Amino acid sequence: MLEIYVRGQLLRVDLERWLQRELDRARRSERGMSESVQNALFVVLAITIVGLLAVAITAFINRKIAVIGAS
């Protein structure tokens, strides 16, 4: 009976050490952004760029229309 208890305690200690190593490894590997957050930021960046281009093109066309209308 004592042998079973000792083996159980040793197994518990081994399991705790293994779990701690895995948790430490997981913490170290999460330095960057998650892929879904990164993709969301890329989408926001792309929408912003398209919006800025649309504003620039609209302003250019309106200036050309004003120049043509004034002459």
The reply to whether 40 and 66 lie within a common domain is: yes
The reply to whether 18 and 37 lie within a common domain is: no
Report how many domains make up the chain.
2
Taking only the tens place, the pLDDT of each residue in 14-65 is 888 988 988 888 777 656 667 888 899 999 999 999 999 999 999 999 999 9
Structure tokens, 8: 């159980």
The reply to whether 45 and 65 lie within a common domain is: yes
Structure tokens, 43: 């989408």
The reply to whether 39 and 9 lie within a common domain is: no
The reply to whether 41 and 63 lie within a common domain is: yes
The reply to whether 21 and 44 lie within a common domain is: no
Q: Supply the pLDDT for residue 31.
A: 63
Contacts of 33-41 spanning 24+ positions with Cβ under 8 A: none
The reply to whether 62 and 38 lie within a common domain is: yes
